[in-house]
Amino acid sequence: MALPQRCVDVLQQRWEDQRQSRGDAWSRSDLDFASATGAPFDAANVRRDFRNAIQRAKGVDPRDWTPRKLRHSFVSLLSASGVPLAEISRLVGHGSTAVAEAVYRKQIRPSLQSGAVAMDQIFR
């Protein structure tokens, strides 16, 4: 999955800054996303860092958001904007649309609706 170049640049710089500041305490890792010591993230790391990041967003209560809710919102917005289900599945890292259909049934309803509308037009 591709990230905007600005995101890649910021992440690479953050990773390099952490690696240099930790010196010998840095765990050797080829992970794109790692804890401050270079170790793999666990769920608690992700939630904590996510909440810390969104605290700076105006009008957002960090207690109301989780990475999971953000992911579901992402799927909802793509679906409501008419992005095909296959593309949504690819963007969220699913190998097939079946997984996306099962997990995001409520969020992809607009995509499924557009398919029904298209079929109505074809078979008038």
pLDDT tens track for 9-58? 887 887 788 778 777 766 666 665 667 677 777 888 888 888 888 888 88
The number of residues making up the chain comes to 124
pTM strictly above 0.85:
no
Same domain, residue pair 80 and 42: no
- List pLDDT tens digits, range 100-120: 877 776 666 655 566 666 677
d(CA 9, CA 21) in angstroms, rounded, equals 18
72 and 57 fall within a common domain: no
71, 57: one domain: no
Contacts of 78 (CB under 8 A, 6+ apart): 87, 88, 91
**pLDDT tens string 49-89:** 888 888 888 888 888 888 888 888 888 888 878 888 889 88
Reduced to 3 states (helix: H, G, I; strand: E, B; else coil), residue 40 is: strand
How far is it, in rounded angstroms, from Cα 86 to Cα 100? Answer: 9
* Structural domain for 55, as ranges: 5-61
Which residue type occupies 17?
D
